[in-house]
Chain A
Amino acid sequence: MKNSETITVDELAVEQNSNGGSPLVVETRGLKKTYFGKIDVPVLHGLDIKIYAHEFVAIIGQSGSGKSTLLNILGALDVPTGGTVLINGTDISTLDEDELATLRSDDVGFIFQSHYLLNEFTCLENALMPVTIRHGEADEEQTDRVLRLLERVGLSDQINKHPDEMSGGQNQRCAIVRSLANSPKIILADEPTGNLDSRSGEEVFSMMREMNRESGVAFVMITHDDRLAQAADRILLIEDGNIFEISKEAHRERVAK
């Protein structure tokens, strides 16, 4: 299956590590996932992935290839059926429920295709929710930080609105701020622009890219939008249960085909 233009992730990781010297945020070793049911569905066949701080990684692949499955496992929302996942060097299979909750709260942020904001709360309250969950209440400093982020994504005048009073793009920008609320090390975004028209999609993407550059938080973003993938630092392709890193050149050629 491998052709000359694909390099394994491991090779590249070693390369990057030696070049950039950025710390590893997430690593998987031989990651496997099979959905057991009436028919067992093997989805991931043993993936070795390394994600470093400061990176913006795009994951592409056909629908049903296992992109979401992978992302959920990387963020400890789902458990693998084989292999290990290390977040900040910790094997997450050794963590109990409460420690997993702490990890999801402090180290990982999520953005989904749907914004999943809570309609019972305002934009500001939604953006502060990870802080509220963690501390019971946001203090002034935390609130100020989130207010600044909301300003950065252009939602200053929307902070008291509820999700059903805002547009899809505005909600998704609010969800971005929410994913950043506890200053995580990595943000996992599953088709964050998938529900948006191309203009708001691009807006949302460029905001994510800015946050990545400014705060150094790593992003792993699943996307079907080839132009957005081109704008990432690295592109990972999932195909037939395996993952490959492909160069932007190779990606452009694939798209052209």
Chain B
Amino acid sequence: MKSFFNIFISALVPKKLRFEFQLALRHLLSGGWQTILTISAVAAGVIIVIFITSLIFGLQEMMSDLLTESIPHVVVQVEDPKPKTLTNTENPTSSRIEEQASQLKFIDNWEQVVRTIRGLPNVRGVSPVVSGQGFASKGANPVGVSVVGAEPELLDVITPITKDLTSGKYRGLGSDEIVIDAELAKDLNTQVGERIRLTSSSGQSDSFTIAGIYSRGQGRGSAYVTLRNGQSLFGFGTSVNVIYVKVYNIYDVENLSNTIMALTPYEAKPWTIDFSRFLVNMQMMGASAYLISIFSLIASAFAIASVLVVSVLQKSSQIGILKSMGARQRQILTVFIFEGLGVAIMGSSLGAVIGMMIVHFIGLLERPDSTGTGASNAMFPVRILPLYIGLAILAAIITTVIAAVLPARQAAKLNPVDVMR
């Protein structure tokens, strides 16, 4: 054991620092419970920070995912007609647009608009959509339903449907097929493979084979048909009335809306307008996550410091005897820097490993009432965040070294006799 360390030291430690390194190593090796205690204190601090950050930030991430993954991030449509005012009549340009808008609620040149939006930064997906209200029926009893006509492959990126299917398919939807939600299926007492009739608010009607049934567990959802079927059902010809946009960074969506509105004559509404309260809550949650992490870091810093300070103060008389043998202040500080680093590196790597293991296993726990599909069945939506683990380790190392060096510096400054008594 000792010879192993000696080989290690002569290979890695420059000769000038070997005394300091040896002494620090011996302190740690002969420290027994004290060494174990300090290492545990560091490990505990790192574990707590890893645990709290992954829990809170995981929860935050999950909530924003849950909300924003099922909604379009920007909705492009024709501006709602507003009541005319006197200023509009004085402005010929504005009145012309207003007129046009009230006549045509749909986007004629949507292919060009879609192409323009696809070229913008932060855009993950674009889907032209026909959206309207209608009635679904099987035999008697028509039931009101929102109808969405879109290309399944495009819409699936924006308001995922395939992921929530309980039976059947959505992608590759045929020209006489429809996907409905489980609630509607129950009301109509129907299932995949059966046919239902859909009548739009504008009076057109057609019958469809149910290709899939989905459930999001949050009230009644839309019925999905192909874009072409939507267009004919609502009499849109080749037009659409809405374009859905999905982005990568959901918090940087206002820029995109503004750009779209600058490049096209349409209104582009970012998700943050309808969910401003949610956004504020998210920001508050983020802030409290930071605060809690900082406080737990400070708390464990105090724990580390108190254990370490005591063990260094116990070595005061040794510091005195070392100085009487000719040790310099710098050498003594180096001993305790090594010692602090040793404790910090061992403690924080132990803490990081245990912390990640705890987080991992907690992440595997499932809600007892989970349905068995999707990622949202975890009881604790934890995330392992390398950045915060790194920060926790760094903070632990800094605290530990400071807590070791400050009392040692104090003792090393004194006359040897004053610490030897």
Given the interface pairs A136-B17, A136-B18, A137-B18, the reply to whether A119 lies near B322 with Cβ below 8 Å is: no
Q: Is B100's beta carbon under 8 Å from chain A?
A: no
Is the contact region of chain B dominated by helix, strand, or loop, or is it mixed? helix
Check B26 against A77 for contact (C-beta < 8 Å): no
Binds B, one of A53-61, A98-106, A204-212: A98-106
Check B327 against A101 for contact (C-beta < 8 Å): yes
Within 8 A of A (CB), among B315-335: 317-318, 321-329, 331
Check B328 against A132 for contact (C-beta < 8 Å): no
Please give, as numbers and ranges, the residues of chain B lying within 8 Å of A134 by CB-CB distance: 326
Please give, as numbers and ranges, the residues of chain A lying within 8 Å of B326 by CB-CB distance: 101-106, 130, 133-134, 182
Check B15 against A110 for contact (C-beta < 8 Å): no
Q: Is A120's beta carbon under 8 Å from chain B?
A: yes
Interchain CA distance A121-B318 in the complex, whole Å: 13
For B26-46 the 0/1 string (1 means CB < 8 A from A) is: 110110000000000000000
- B interface residues with partner A (beta carbon < 8 Å): 14-19, 22-23, 26-27, 29-30, 317-318, 321-329, 331, 415-418, 420
Given the interface pairs A78-B415, A120-B30, the reply to whether A104 lies near B15 with Cβ below 8 Å is: no
Shortest CB-to-CB span from B421 to chain A, Å, is 10
8 CB < 8 A contacts A-B: A72-B416, A77-B420, A78-B418, A102-B326, A104-B325, A136-B17, A178-B325, A182-B326
Please give, as numbers and ranges, the residues of chain A lying within 8 Å of B29 by CB-CB distance: 120
Q: Is A189's beta carbon under 8 Å from chain B?
A: no
Within 8 A of B (CB), among A42-81: 72, 75, 77-79
Check B325 against A75 for contact (C-beta < 8 Å): no
Check B324 against A98 for contact (C-beta < 8 Å): no
Check A79 against B415 for contact (C-beta < 8 Å): yes
Check B18 against A77 for contact (C-beta < 8 Å): no
A contact residues, total (Cβ < 8 Å)? 30
Check A77 against B327 for contact (C-beta < 8 Å): no
Check A132 against B19 for contact (C-beta < 8 Å): yes
For A77-118 the 0/1 string (1 means CB < 8 A from B) is: 111000000000000000001100111111000101000101
Please give, as numbers and ranges, the residues of chain B lying within 8 Å of A105 by CB-CB distance: 325-326
Please give, as numbers and ranges, the residues of chain A lying within 8 Å of B321 by CB-CB distance: 116, 118
Shortest CB-to-CB span from A15 to chain B, Å, is 32
Check A129 against B324 for contact (C-beta < 8 Å): no
Interchain CA distance A133-B23 in the complex, whole Å: 10
Shortest CB-to-CB span from A161 to chain B, Å, is 14
Check B22 against A98 for contact (C-beta < 8 Å): no
Top 5 closest A-B pairs, CB basis?
A105-B326, A120-B26, A136-B15, A116-B321, A77-B416
Shortest CB-to-CB span from A240 to chain B, Å, is 22
Please give, as numbers and ranges, the residues of chain A lying within 8 Å of B327 by CB-CB distance: 101, 133
Check B329 against A97 for contact (C-beta < 8 Å): yes
Interchain CA distance A255-B74 in the complex, whole Å: 105
Interchain CA distance A79-B417 in the complex, whole Å: 10
Please give, as numbers and ranges, the residues of chain B lying within 8 Å of A112 by CB-CB distance: 420
Interchain CA distance A155-B19 in the complex, whole Å: 23
Please give, as numbers and ranges, the residues of chain B lying within 8 Å of A137 by CB-CB distance: 15, 18-19
Q: Which of A78, A103, A120, A136 touches B16 (beta carbons < 8 Å)?
A: A136
Interchain CA distance A129-B327 in the complex, whole Å: 10
Given the interface pairs A137-B15, A137-B19, the reply to whether A101 lies near B416 with Cβ below 8 Å is: no
Interchain CA distance A133-B325 in the complex, whole Å: 8
Shortest CB-to-CB span from B12 to chain A, Å, is 13
Nearest A residue to B321, CB-CB:
A116
Residue of A97, A101, A132, A135 contacting most chain B CB atoms (<10 Å): A101
Check B417 against A101 for contact (C-beta < 8 Å): no
Check B415 against A121 for contact (C-beta < 8 Å): no
Shortest CB-to-CB span from B118 to chain A, Å, is 66
Nearest A residue to B327, CB-CB:
A133
Interchain CA distance A104-B320 in the complex, whole Å: 12
Given the interface pairs A97-B329, A110-B324, A130-B326, the reply to whether A118 lies near B16 with Cβ below 8 Å is: no
Within 8 A of B (CB), among A151-188: 178, 182
Given the interface pairs A106-B326, A130-B325, the reply to whether A77 lies near B318 with Cβ below 8 Å is: no
Please give, as numbers and ranges, the residues of chain B lying within 8 Å of A102 by CB-CB distance: 326
Check A132 against B331 for contact (C-beta < 8 Å): no
Please give, as numbers and ranges, the residues of chain A lying within 8 Å of B416 by CB-CB distance: 72, 77-78
Interchain CA distance A104-B29 in the complex, whole Å: 29
Interchain CA distance A247-B175 in the complex, whole Å: 125
Check A121 against B15 for contact (C-beta < 8 Å): no
Residue of B14, B30, B325 contacting most chain A CB atoms (<10 Å): B325
Check A132 against B22 for contact (C-beta < 8 Å): yes
Interchain CA distance A201-B256 in the complex, whole Å: 90
Shortest CB-to-CB span from B20 to chain A, Å, is 8
Check B415 against A77 for contact (C-beta < 8 Å): yes
Shortest CB-to-CB span from A128 to chain B, Å, is 10
Please give, as numbers and ranges, the residues of chain A lying within 8 Å of B417 by CB-CB distance: 72, 77-78
Interchain CA distance A136-B321 in the complex, whole Å: 17
Nearest A residue to B318, CB-CB:
A118
Interchain CA distance A89-B252 in the complex, whole Å: 76
Shortest CB-to-CB span from B130 to chain A, Å, is 81
Interchain CA distance A77-B22 in the complex, whole Å: 25
Please give, as numbers and ranges, the residues of chain A lying within 8 Å of B30 by CB-CB distance: 119-120
Please give, as numbers and ranges, the residues of chain B lying within 8 Å of A121 by CB-CB distance: 26
Q: Which of A119, A129, A136 touches B325 (beta carbons < 8 Å)?
A: A129
Nearest A residue to B416, CB-CB:
A77
